[in-house]
Amino acid sequence: MIKGIHRALQDGETTLGITSQIIMCFLRHLSEDSAIETLKQALPYKEFIVGVGLDSSEQGYPPEKFTRVFKMAKEHGFLTVAHAGEEGPAQNIVDAIELLGVSRVDHGVRCVESDELVARLIETKMPLTVCPLSNIKLCVFDDMSQHNIVSLLRKGVAVTINSDDPAYFGGYMTDNFKAVSEAHDMTHQELAQFTVNAIDASFIDEAMKRDYRSKVADYVARFSDVD
Distance from the first to the final alpha carbon of the chain: 46
- For 215, the 3-state DSSP assignment is helix
- Of the candidates 13, 47, 64, 86, the residue annotated as catalytic is 86
CA 170 to chain centre: 18
Which H or E element spans position 175?
A: helix 173-183
> How far does Cα 54 stand from its chain's mean position?
11
Strand order in the sheet with 22-27: 22-27, 49-55, 79-84, 104-107, 128-130, 159-161
Q: Which helix (H) or strand (E) holds 26?
A: strand 22-27
Q: What is the rounded CA–CA span in Å between residue 107 and residue 73? A: 21
Assign residue 164 a region: left if phi > 0, alpha if psi is -120 to 50, beta otherwise? beta
> Is the separation of the CB atoms in 190 and 153 below 8 Å?
yes
Told to judge if 86 belongs to the known catalytic residues of this protein, a careful annotator would answer: yes
Catalytic residues: 86
